[in-house]
Chains A and B, each alone.
Chain A
Amino acid sequence: MSALILETRGLSKHFGGLRAVSDISLQVAPREIHAIIGPNGAGKSTMVNLLSGHLRPSSGQVIFNGQDITGLAPNKVSHLGVGRSFQRTNIFPSFSCLENCMLAAQSRMKNSFRFFRRSDSYPLVRARAEKALQACGLSSKGHSTASSMSYGEQRQLEIGMVLATEPSFLLLDEPMAGMGKEESSRVVELLAELSRDYSLVLVEHDMDAVFSIAKTLTVMVNGQMLASGPLERVRNDPAVQEAYLGDGEEQF
């Protein structure tokens, strides 16, 4: 196994007396899909926020590509190549799809203090945005206003915007949240494709989806890591079976 792309060491986040995340050490190798699963309240979203810089950890470290990024602001983390998507659709509703992706692509220019030339006349911005739209399957919807699209399409756009920032690593917070079977299988396909080019951490509720694409798995319960490792091993771990998987899916 080559060097790790992402690693956390004893990562913890406390909100007052609540240990939302405690002492999580996980390792993600390049070009793998690493899934984090766990019941509601397990601390998955907090975990994502710690990794993307939206929250500052109480203790522990986040190491990305060998660099300590603990406590860096989200915009700086983004510039290091971490592309994050959100659990609740987080797009610019009045912008068209293309404009959503162009704004994301624009973030890779040195700065956006450019006042005179139209943003869509920067070839690099436009090309990246169009490429991202294609990758997320929305090429034909470029000029549709984001708010007028279906929920599933908005979720796709959410991923497209992440891709337009040309990340080297994807951090996806429940990309299939609230989707129907058909829509979510389309996203699973998309993720499988993306995993050829990107390393990916996926927080997800949808177990079928996770088991069909993830290579490694971390199971969280009550802010703690129950198990972490290759999918098959974790899946068959007796502790995981008992605490989480064995009870069936009605838990969610």
Chain B
Amino acid sequence: MHALPRPIQLLLALLLLLMAAYPLFGASLAGDRHDFYLQQLTSIMILAIVALGLDLLVGVSGMVSLASAAFFGMAGYALVLFAPEYEALSIWVALPLCLGVTALAALLMGVLIIRTSGIFFIMVTIAFSQMLYYLFHDASFAGGSDGAYLFMKPEVAIAGVQLLDLENRTTLFYVVLASLALLFVLLRTFLRAPFGRVLLGIKENEQRVRAMGFNPLFYKLAAFVIAGTIAGYAGMLSATQYGFVSPGQLSWQMSAHILVMVILGGMGTLFGPILGAFAFEGLHHWFASLTPHWELPMGVVVIAMVLLLPRGIAGLLLQLAQRKATKSAEVPLAGTIKQEAEQ
């Protein structure tokens, strides 16, 4: 993974700043709807975290998984079911619990399915997600199809001193924003390190990676577990935000939405899927305000995007940045040649 072009770095930094500034100015800009927007942005960023994790599989390693929602939902259920009814669960319990449950589930699922590839991999990830979906759908201990409630949000405290109040929507907004930014940086670091190089190699040419002495299965499995755990982290945040989980969160349609975010945004770029999450949810709200059949115009947009911009929003941005770079490079290059000629 190469360094991002300067204009894109600036753009991402600007977007991060704008997001960080929103709670400060939102109330005067949006008035009554501020609180609604704040919640929407928080939930979009949570989905962006899932999309970011999925990109590690789809875009980086070339494994198309439709199980992200299963891990997302499972972590939410883990939090809700484990939390005592009239007492807040400490985040120091909730976090390892949610991450541990999803990592373990991803590991078990991964061990069974990692040898498959292509369409078969997609099918088994759907099959496993649907099994989990029906498990929670039909489980009386988890509230069945009605879902279950989290009455108290996890408490972030050290030695009884509260550090963050997750009940506060603005605080939660910043926690989610910081998580998204940190995970982005973390995954980019992974991709430049030996681990990421192997994953990128697997996507381009798995046979050669094996011939060079790597066992691709271990690396794919690790990527699957990392992506699953990231989805689980997002699931924990989501359950915290809404205080509610339902089987629908585990459905494969939800996974498909995440996949569309990755594709719209631009696979394999990491920043693309984040933009994709905003684009998808933005269009979703807009179309839903026009028609109850919002999926119809959404489908048209997705088809148009795939035809016109197969590398997604990120691909377009990278292309624009590249064009600018070659234009500005021409002038100094001519200068160097002149210099060399003089010598």
Binding site for B on A (CB under 8 A): 52, 54, 73-75, 78-79, 84, 86, 90-95, 99, 102-104, 106-109, 111-119, 122, 125, 161, 165
B213 at the interface (CB under 8 A from A): yes
- Least distance between B231 CB and chain A CB atoms (Å): 18
B90 at the interface (CB under 8 A from A): no
Q: B211 touching A54 by the CB < 8 A rule?
A: yes
Give the contacts of B198-238 with A (CB-CB under 8 A): 198, 200-201, 204-205, 207-215, 218-219, 222
B335 at the interface (CB under 8 A from A): no
Interface of B is mostly: helix
* Contact A116-B204, Cβ < 8 Å, known A75-B214, A103-B212: no
Partner of B211, one of A74, A112, A119: A74
List residues of chain B with CB within 8 A of the CB of A118: 192-193
Give the contacts of B275-322 with A (CB-CB under 8 A): none
Partner of A78, one of B193, B204, B212, B218: B212
Q: A115 touching B190 by the CB < 8 A rule?
A: yes
Provide the bound-state CA to CA distance between A103 and B204, in Å: 12
Cβ-closest chain B residue relative to A167: B213
- Least distance between B39 CB and chain A CB atoms (Å): 34
Provide the bound-state CA to CA distance between A74 and B246, in Å: 46
Q: B197 touching A78 by the CB < 8 A rule?
A: no
List residues of chain A with CB within 8 A of the CB of B200: 92, 95
- Least distance between B66 CB and chain A CB atoms (Å): 26
* Contact A102-B215, Cβ < 8 Å, known A86-B208, A92-B204: no
Cβ-closest chain A residue relative to B190: A115
List residues of chain B with CB within 8 A of the CB of A95: 200-201, 204
B194 at the interface (CB under 8 A from A): yes
B140 at the interface (CB under 8 A from A): no
B116 at the interface (CB under 8 A from A): no
Q: B214 touching A115 by the CB < 8 A rule?
A: no
Task: Give the top 9 A-B pairs by smallest Cβ distance, nearest first.
Answer: A78-B213, A107-B213, A112-B194, A114-B194, A107-B212, A119-B194, A92-B204, A118-B192, A112-B198
Partner of B193, one of A74, A111, A119: A119
Provide the bound-state CA to CA distance between A75 and B218, in Å: 12
Q: A106 touching B194 by the CB < 8 A rule?
A: yes
B117 at the interface (CB under 8 A from A): no
- Least distance between B60 CB and chain A CB atoms (Å): 12
Q: B222 touching A90 by the CB < 8 A rule?
A: no
Q: B195 touching A113 by the CB < 8 A rule?
A: yes
Q: A52-B211, A54-B211, A165-B212 are in contact. List 18 more A-B contacts (CB 8 A).
A: A73-B215, A75-B210, A75-B213, A75-B214, A90-B208, A92-B205, A92-B208, A95-B200, A95-B201, A107-B212, A107-B213, A108-B213, A112-B197, A112-B214, A113-B218, A116-B193, A117-B194, A161-B208
List residues of chain A with CB within 8 A of the CB of B213: 75, 78-79, 107-108, 165
B189 at the interface (CB under 8 A from A): yes
Tally of B interface residues using CB under 8 Å:
25
Provide the bound-state CA to CA distance between A73 and B210, in Å: 9
Q: B201 touching A103 by the CB < 8 A rule?
A: yes
- Least distance between A250 CB and chain B CB atoms (Å): 34
- Least distance between B185 CB and chain A CB atoms (Å): 11
Partner of B197, one of A73, A75, A93, A106: A106
* Contact A93-B193, Cβ < 8 Å, known A78-B211, A107-B212: no
List residues of chain B with CB within 8 A of the CB of A165: 212-213
List residues of chain A with CB within 8 A of the CB of B205: 90-92
Q: B197 touching A102 by the CB < 8 A rule?
A: yes
List residues of chain A with CB within 8 A of the CB of B192: 118-119
List residues of chain A with CB within 8 A of the CB of B209: 103
Provide the bound-state CA to CA distance between A166 and B213, in Å: 11
List residues of chain A with CB within 8 A of the CB of B194: 106, 109, 112-114, 117, 119, 122, 125
Provide the bound-state CA to CA distance between A115 and B196, in Å: 7
Provide the bound-state CA to CA distance between A118 and B190, in Å: 8
26 contacts between A and B (CB under 8 A): A54-B211, A78-B213, A79-B213, A84-B211, A90-B207, A90-B211, A91-B205, A92-B200, A92-B204, A92-B208, A93-B204, A94-B204, A95-B200, A95-B204, A104-B212, A106-B194, A107-B212, A112-B194, A112-B197, A112-B198, A113-B195, A114-B195, A116-B189, A116-B193, A118-B192, A119-B192
- Least distance between B304 CB and chain A CB atoms (Å): 26
Provide the bound-state CA to CA distance between A114 and B192, in Å: 10
List residues of chain B with CB within 8 A of the CB of A84: 211
Q: B193 touching A114 by the CB < 8 A rule?
A: yes
Q: B204 touching A112 by the CB < 8 A rule?
A: no
List residues of chain B with CB within 8 A of the CB of A73: 210, 215
Provide the bound-state CA to CA distance between A161 and B209, in Å: 11
Provide the bound-state CA to CA distance between A110 and B324, in Å: 42
Cβ-closest chain A residue relative to B268: A94
